[in-house]
Structure 1
């Protein structure tokens, strides 16, 4: 080795970087530090013989981007790119950062590409962790901003009715109103706790608290609250294939799914309209249908209905302001419970949302 080779050899191993000088006109390396065999898991002698084997190690999507960068190397001072290396399916992804330029003014190396590549796997993992944490924080704030409104509205309405009942000495309504306020507060606290967990854990991996739930009782309790709080405005009905429909699942998520679907049906159903929930047991599954005879969904809005901050959002029949988050949250939570959601709707013919969940749950 010449002294320069020895210097680059030491620098490469101490900095965990790969140094190279590549001649594109001859398609070969004038120099390649031998630690390339560690990063690419290919013998350096094989790389020197056939440089194209390096491209086979790069993820297909990244390969296109890296080649695109190198196509501009003669028009830029230098080019940079991050890319992933492809190994066996069980091996973790490895990230490299490459920076290179074209040599000018050296007759022996005119037109050669000189540069280095460094292993940035640890840095990328930190970046992805921070990005994911930031995204989860945003999701948490969006869910809280959307779904805390509903229980606060319920508590406010129940408090107004309670005050009216006390003034008129209508004592028979006081106890159920107190129960609604208490249950709603507890559900809201459960929601806050569950969502705050998702700030620190990926939403798909957040611990789901499985328990045996009677859907008939859960839906009846929610419909009872609507009937009591919105007297003489709409007709709420419950149909079920059996007296009890049991499912093993996450209670908080199920309540949020039902509350959002009922709230959505309520907003888009005219006064004196009908909202019905139908529970059907199937082989290994439970199907929940929330049906209204409201204004329906126009065809042009249907493809966007589950999108976050969707352009399909509309004001409710009483001027309720939409956020464009409700049905996106419902779809996310249904999928977290290994379920499936779809809908049928026609303008002025109402809408039915169907949720199918496994009986044994998550």
Structure 2
């Protein structure tokens, strides 16, 4: 066990048995400790959401029941307004002795009569309601609603109703105008009312089988909810404002748990405060416990199944794999005499085939290994000889090119010098044929001189013997110098050479002669591969700490195939128009090497038959 832990820490090695056990144990732990409680929590949340939805519907039914009481009060007032016993009181024909009996028959808690000239603060002609002490406890808001309702019945001459929800004297009120049956003139108002007292709210609670409380302005108006639930403390702490429909679980004084929900109390379209509804959640938790038992049962079945699978996998899979692992470890240490057990139970499987193939492979490896060292030694010797031959051949080639270049320079210089003297008339007058012949000799000598110079440069570059002398170089000065040197060949083809370089450009840090050679190659190429009357533009500017120089022409351009080989040595395009111009195929290869040896880069953009632009960079002189 300790050895396995040590390998785990040092080598990050964990055997396959452990890899099978750990996921199994982790899966069971995740199921038991995370997924089951999480699933139970989600289900409880869903159940509570559904319970809150039902409680919200019950809360809406409270408002509906109060609306029914309001309708009943208005209808009772309208009915009484047409009774002779009521209209007779206003006409003086009857007494009020019969009114209490009528109030009791209709189940009213108040039946009062008011004169047609009623004003705020006037006493009723007849008051048939609670005793005086109860009457004095009615809140100002309830009195104001009563008086406004009486005034509305007189002004509209129609039955009206309203609900007064107030800390004292909450009422469901109805009022209707009373007319003189003889003259049909307005005689007064009859007012009926139901008081929202303990009896009234208990009746609603029994109808909906739910404890309820009505709250307005954070004050409990009336309630059937156990005060031990602590809902009044929640109200004072601002619980009603914590959500649109706040809900939570509370515990009654007898220890029973209830679900408490607050919902707006809407009566006849008007919000009259908040109604709290509370129901036991014993059934809710019993359902949750049932689901939890099912989850644990499923988890146990899964754990047993996974354990059985692990045992089967250990017997049929892991033991052969352990043998294969040990054998391959021995092979990695150079011991090829390895064989593993290939026995099987009833049927072969992939592990059996793997073991058989492994034994066959080790036999072949052992045979090959015995001859491998000798073959490697022989091949190494052959490669060393080939390398030495290639180095010697390359050295001989470089020496040959260097010697030939040196030996050719002297006769070519003499030929060029004598031909130039003869062309100037130093040996006497020349006829046209002699002039043409001498011009041909001079041009070919120039071409050979260029070829010899290019070969010498290639040889120095490949051998690493090219000498560079970097110093501060004014780019504009070198460009002007090259433009002067190439002016004759540019003018011969009636081309326009444009130079766009500021004399404020920083100096470059490079070999001046090699920079002149590079620019001469690029401008000469632009001249050769641009038709008569074409344009060549040379520009330079500072960019990213380097000086970027471009040579642009509107000449023949290059095909995509030629662009890929452009910087190869001795490359010449297959394009017939390009081949009309003389060349060795060495200039751009030398140019690229010269630029890169000085820390720059070269690239180009070309479009066939539309022109080419070469870009190159050289370093800027650093401040001393």
TM-score in terms of structure 1 length: 0.50
CA distance 1:268–1:197, shift in 2 (3 Å): closer
CA distance 1:72–1:259, shift in 2 (3 Å): farther
2:592 pairs, out of 331, 336, 349, with 331
Q: Which residues in structure 2 correspond to 1:1-362 (within 5 Å)?
A: 50-51=333-334, 80-81=375-376, 98-99=377-378, 129-134=391-396, 136-137=398-399, 163=424, 195=457, 198=460, 202-203=463-464, 206-231=466-491, 233=493, 234-243=495-504, 245-310=506-571, 312=573, 314=575, 319-360=580-621
User: In 2, Cα distance between the equivalents of 1:343 and 1:141?
Assistant: 35
**Structure 2 stretches lacking a partner, 5+ long:** 1-331, 336-364, 430-445
Deviations 1:325-358 (A, max 9, x none): 2222211221111211111111222110000121
User: In 1, Cα distance between the equivalents of 2:368 and 2:502?
Assistant: 69
Deviations 1:51-104 (A, max 9, x none): 48xxxxxxxxxxxxxxxxx99989x9x9654xxxxxxxxxxxxxxxx249xxxx
Shift of 1:315: 5.7
User: In 1, Cα distance between the equivalents of 2:573 and 2:517?
Assistant: 21
| Secondary structure in structure 1 of the residue aligned to 2:463 | coil
| Secondary structure in structure 1 of the residue aligned to 2:486 | helix
Q: Report if aligned partners of 2:509, 2:618 keep a CA contact under 8 Å in 1.
A: no
Deviations 1:96-142 (A, max 9, x none): xx249xxxxxxxxxxxxxxxx98x98x89865653552464588699
Deviations 1:302-345 (A, max 9, x none): 11111222253656669223322222221122111121111111
Greater RCO, 1 or 2 (C-alpha within 8 Å, sep 6+):
1
Q: Report if aligned partners of 1:270, 1:317 keep a CA contact under 8 Å in 2.
A: no
**How many pairs does the alignment contain?**
238
CA distance 1:285–1:191, shift in 2 (3 Å): farther
CA distance 1:73–1:131, shift in 2 (3 Å): farther
User: In 2, Cα distance between the equivalents of 1:313 and 1:329?
Assistant: 21
Measured on the aligned residues, the alpha-carbon RMSD in Å equals 5.2
Structure richer in helix, relative to its length? 2
Shift of 1:287: 0.6
Shift of 1:197: 7.9
Deviations 1:182-216 (A, max 9, x none): xx9xx98x9689739828x833x633211221111
Structure richer in strand, relative to its length? 1
Shift of 1:222: 1.2
CA distance 1:323–1:211, shift in 2 (3 Å): same
CA distance 1:210–1:227, shift in 2 (3 Å): same
CA distance 1:344–1:206, shift in 2 (3 Å): same
Q: Report if aligned partners of 2:557, 2:606 keep a CA contact under 8 Å in 1.
A: yes
| Secondary structure in structure 2 of the residue aligned to 1:231 | helix
Partner of 1:89: none
CA distance 1:298–1:124, shift in 2 (3 Å): closer
User: In 2, Cα distance between the equivalents of 1:346 and 1:72?
Assistant: 60
User: In 2, Cα distance between the equivalents of 1:193 and 1:294?
Assistant: 27
